[in-house]
Amino acid sequence: MTETELTEINPAVPARNVLEALHAVIDPELGLDIVSLGMVYAVAVVDSQVAIEMTLTTPGCPLHGSIEADVRHCLGQVPGVGDIGVELVWDPPWTPDSMSAEAKRSLGFY
Amino acid sequence: MPRLGADGAPPVLPIASLLLGALALALVGLLVLLSPAAFAGYLGLPRVVAINHVFTLTFVGLVFAGTLQQLPAVMFVTKLAWPRLGWLTLPLLAVGSVAVVIGFFRGFSAPWLAFGAAATSLAWVALVVQLARTAAQRWPKDPGSHALLLSALFLALAVILGFTLASARTTPSVAAQVGYPVQLHFTVGLFGAFLLGIIGSGQKLLSMFALSKGGPQWRVRYATYAVTAAILLEALATFARLPLITASHVLLAIACALQAWEVLNILRRRLRKRLELPIQRYVLAHAFLPLAGVALLFGEGGAAMILFLLGFVGLAVSGMLVKILSFLTWTWQFAGASTGGVSGGAPLLRDLVKDELEPIITWGLVLAAAALAAATIWSSALLAVVAGAATLLAGVALTAQASHVVGVTVRSRRRLAAAAAAAQATKTLEEARA
């Protein structure tokens, strides 16, 4: 499973709390949250600014706009979070191995 | 990094195109039901040719054209070039297709066929130019994208060949120049356009929906080469009178086998074991490829064409229609929505599909393809009635499914927007009281 890199500099909110909040962002196609799917590569919190580095299952995924908007929507409700930056990256590419065991199980992997 | 898949045409265009396509399948069923005797006899009758073109030009053509307004942006990871061109091409295609069908129904009426063929040719050439311009922004390297590009080119060529056929019927000088290349028209349309289109888009979409990543793609590449070479050989056989038809057919059989093998390979590597029902239908479609081949080997060309079109193409296209429409309407309504996506109450994509309708579509088409092929082999009007009823049932279920997908999504968005507005009003009221 993907290990999310957490970085904090004088954080207004712990990076772990930000990552926890991202569990509410659900991939509309797979029906699982983006953290369990292993799409969140890094969370950085500097003061109240939050930067998310994440990927999607497929480059060109038509859901990118809505997932990105959902990330902003969820983090916007976390007390202490100010500016939110979301960067989509394709390196390393997402693979099903990035998922948590529970996510794999719910997709019928086992 | 370019903006990704949402950079297609205004969503209402492909959505309308896909809805009309679904409706056209129901129309095919109704027309077969009204003309069963035609399918029990000579398949070159104007009525049969007309019904065939409702299926190929209107059902498959509109679904393919609508998909081309969105899928290239996803496959090539770039923006669709001239996104508003669809306002011209899709209505032109719809009107032209209807004119062609009327032209055949009226006994190869030259004015209707000339207008319809000119309109559809123009629309498809414009769509191909748009697709090429889109690809030129970020030239794709994967064989699936190459297959998709070629399929659109071959579909335009098939339509232009149809225009030539219509002209040859009425203009002796055209007939003298090109003859009557109807076999080439079939091959370019069925294999160049439909098979390659399904190979190209299916390779990407099936991998995506089944979570099957990173496998070799050589089968897709060689299938594309085989289809292209087969069409070239058939063109030489048609225009240069060279004895290359058998070689062309062998190459087409190889391409079909490679596609079936590729689908099996994607499924073998998949990590999502439970495939959704529309995807199961897409996979099942490939069972009709060997059946069509067997029919052809036994000299039943008409039955082979029906098994290929109604069975393979019908199942594959209707399966992808439901999945693509779900994506299109969901992103149309919820991309960038201030309420958030699923976390804000938006439905999951799988919740947009009414599962009860899926077996009706799938098994209706399976029964229709088998019954209509049998009707042509045994000259049975009764079997044609069964085929017509089954196609009508499948077409109505597909139209209902497509309408359900759009309706559920739009209603969900409105409900969320109303709830958000109410919450905002309550908050404003509370602030005013405070």
ipTM higher than the 0.90 cut? no
What pLDDT score was predicted for residue A27? 92
Residue B78 — pLDDT band, cuts 50, 70, 90?
Answer: confident
Q: State pLDDT tens for residues B286-345.
A: 999 999 999 999 999 999 999 999 999 999 999 999 999 999 999 888 876 666 778 778
Residue B42 — pLDDT band, cuts 50, 70, 90?
Answer: confident
What pLDDT score was predicted for residue B2? 37
Bridge partners, A84 (sequence order)? A50
Whether the per-residue pLDDT at A60 is higher than 60: the answer is yes
Please answer yes or no on whether B337 and A66 come within 8 Å at the CB atom. yes
Q: How many residues belong to chain A?
A: 110
Whether the per-residue pLDDT at B7 is higher than 70: the answer is no
Rg of chain B taking only CA atoms, in angstroms: 22
Residue B10 — pLDDT band, cuts 50, 70, 90?
Answer: confident
Output the average pLDDT for chain B.
Answer: 91
* Rounded mean pLDDT, A12-22: 94
Domain-embedded: residue A61: yes
What pLDDT score was predicted for residue A66? 83
Whether the per-residue pLDDT at A14 is higher than 80: the answer is yes
B341 touches chain A (CB under 8 A): yes
Domain-embedded: residue A58: yes
B277-285 vs B314-334: helix axis angle to the nearest 10? 150
Please answer yes or no on whether B341 and A28 come within 8 Å at the CB atom. yes
Which of A20, A27, A35, A66 would you mutate first to test chain B, the one with the most B CBs within 10 A?
A: A66
Å from A5 to nearest chain B CA?
A: 22
What pLDDT score was predicted for residue B434? 79
Whether the per-residue pLDDT at A41 is higher than 70: the answer is yes
A92 touches chain B (CB under 8 A): no
Consecutive H or E run containing B281: helix B277-285
Please tell me which residue, A106 or B64, carries the higher pLDDT value. B64
Handedness of CA B169, B171, B175, B178 (dihedral sign): negative
Encode burial over B83-92: b for 16+ CB neighbours within 10 A, e otherwise: bebbeebbeb
Please tell me which residue, B19 or B77, carries the higher pLDDT value. B19
Please answer yes or no on whether B211 and A66 come within 8 Å at the CB atom. no
What pLDDT score was predicted for residue A94? 87
CATH number of the structural domain spanning residue A51: 3.30.300.130
Which of A64, A84, A87 would you mutate first to test chain B, the one with the most B CBs within 10 A?
A: A64
pLDDT above 70 coverage of chain B, percent: 97
Q: Are A70 and B340 in contact (CB under 8 A)?
A: yes
Domain-embedded: residue A100: no
Domain-embedded: residue A30: yes
Phi, psi of B322 (to 5 degrees): -65, -45
Q: State pLDDT tens for residues B154-180.
A: 999 999 998 888 787 777 777 677 777
Please tell me which residue, B105 or B344, carries the higher pLDDT value. B105
What pLDDT score was predicted for residue B115? 92
Q: Following DSSP, what letter does each residue of chain A receive, concatenated?
A: -PPPEEEEES-SS-HHHHHHHGGG-B-TTT-SBTTTTT-EEEEEEETTEEEEEE--SSTT-TTHHHHHHHHHHHHTTSTT---EEEEE--SSPP-GGGS-HHHHHHTT--
Domain-embedded: residue A35: yes
Q: Identify which of B389, B384, B390 has the alpha carbon closest to the alpha carbon of residue B364.
A: B390
User: Which range among B25-39, B71-85, B347-361, B364-378 shows the weakest confidence by mean pLDDT?
Assistant: B71-85
What pLDDT score was predicted for residue B215? 78
Q: Following DSSP, what letter does each residue of B199-262 receive, concatenated?
A: HHHHHHHHHHHTT--S---HHHHHHHHHHHHHHHHHHHHHHS--S-HHHHHHHHHHHHHHHHHH
Domain-embedded: residue A101: no
The DSSP secondary-structure symbol of B350 reads G
**Which residue of chain A has the CA closest to B324?**
A62
Whether the per-residue pLDDT at B8 is higher than 80: the answer is no
B110-137 vs B86-105: helix axis angle to the nearest 10? 150
Number of domains in chain A: 1
**Which residue of chain A has the CA closest to B11?**
A62
A29 touches chain B (CB under 8 A): yes
Measured distance CA(B174)–CA(B317) in Å, rounded: 35
* Rounded mean pLDDT, B344-363: 94
Bridge partners, B344 (sequence order)? none
Domain-embedded: residue A72: yes
Handedness of CA B158, B163, B166, B169 (dihedral sign): negative
What pLDDT score was predicted for residue B336? 66
What pLDDT score was predicted for residue B296? 93
Nearest to A65 among B209, B328, B335 (CB): B335
* Rounded mean pLDDT, B24-49: 92
Whether the per-residue pLDDT at A19 is higher than 80: the answer is yes
Residue A105 — pLDDT band, cuts 50, 70, 90?
Answer: confident
Measured distance CA(B101)–CA(B92) in Å, rounded: 14
User: Which domain range does residue A79 map to?
Assistant: 5-94
Stated pTM of the model: 0.91
Whether the per-residue pLDDT at B201 is higher than 50: the answer is yes
Q: CB under 8 Å to A98, separation ≥6 — which residues?
A: A1, A2, A37, A38, A39
What pLDDT score was predicted for residue B396? 98
Amino acid at A18: V
What pLDDT score was predicted for residue B5? 42
Q: CB under 8 Å to B70, separation ≥6 — which residues?
A: A62, B5, B8, B9, B11, B14, B80, B324, B327, B328
**Which residue of chain A has the CA closest to B339?**
A73
Please answer yes or no on whether B4 and A26 come within 8 Å at the CB atom. no
Q: Identify which of A56, A28, A24 has the alpha carbon closest to the alpha carbon of residue B328.
A: A28
Q: Identify which of A53, A57, A63, A36 has the alpha carbon closest to the alpha carbon of residue A88.
A: A53
Handedness of CA A67, A72, A76, A80 (dihedral sign): positive
Domain-embedded: residue A12: yes
